[in-house]
Amino acid sequence: MYQRILLAYDGSAPGQQALLECHEIAQWSGSELTLIAVMPLPLNNLGLEGSIYDESLQASEKERYQAILDTGLRKLGDAGLKASGQVVTGDAVSEITYSARQIKADLIVVGHKHLDGWAARWWRGSVSKALIEQSPCSVLVVITH
């Protein structure tokens, strides 16, 4: 059914739930697993005037995202599954869809937490919704409350 699964993993509670779901599907179908951690673009806002690049902040963020990715890979490894992974930098939807195309994924798995209140949902937008619109394959959105 699914030969290659891409999991966008961020270490959050929804991400942990997505990892569990992904684990079950991969075990059942014998799929290749690829995890990615998407690090946002490394810019510090200065307000309306623009933004600056901070190399030391980027290095520490890269280490943080690598640690998150390593934790996910270790959990899958402990469960007897082989998985590969990498940290990527950029817009989450663009990087996830690009990675899915690169590995020819059959399924993308992401975690999602429902936000309380319409203002929070409006302000943050929906990565899951945009991902579904742009995805080259099926998308499993694992919802936590």
Q: What is the pLDDT of residues 41-64, one digit of tens each?
A: 765 544 555 555 567 778 888 999
pLDDT of residue 93: 93
Q: Could you tell me whether strands 4-8 and 107-113 are parallel, antiparallel, or unpaired per DSSP bridges?
A: parallel
| pLDDT bucket at 125, cuts 50 / 70 / 90 | low
Q: Are 138 and 106 a contacting pair, CB within 8 Å?
A: yes
pLDDT of residue 33: 93
Query: Residue 67: CB partners within 8 Å, gap ≥ 6?
Result: none
Q: Are 90 and 38 a contacting pair, CB within 8 Å?
A: yes
Q: In this structure, what are the phi and psi dihedrals at residue 110, rounded to the nearest 5 degrees?
A: -135, 150
C-alpha pair distances (Å), 106 with each of 41, 44, 122, 143 = 27, 36, 30, 20
Please provide the average confidence, as pLDDT, over all residues in the chain. 83
pLDDT in tens, 105-119: 999 998 877 656 555
pLDDT in tens, 21-45: 887 888 888 889 999 999 987 655 4
> Above 50 in pLDDT, residue 123?
no
Give, in degrees to the nearest 5, the angle at Cα 116 between 112 and 121: 65
Cα–Cα dist 26/4, whole Å = 9
Q: Are 4 and 34 a contacting pair, CB within 8 Å?
A: yes
pTM of the model: 0.81
Q: What percent helix, strand, coil does the chain show, rounded to 5?
A: 45, 25, 25
- Looking at the chain, the whole-number percentage of residues with pLDDT higher than 90 is 37
Q: How large is the average pLDDT for residues 2-25?
A: 84
pLDDT of residue 136: 96
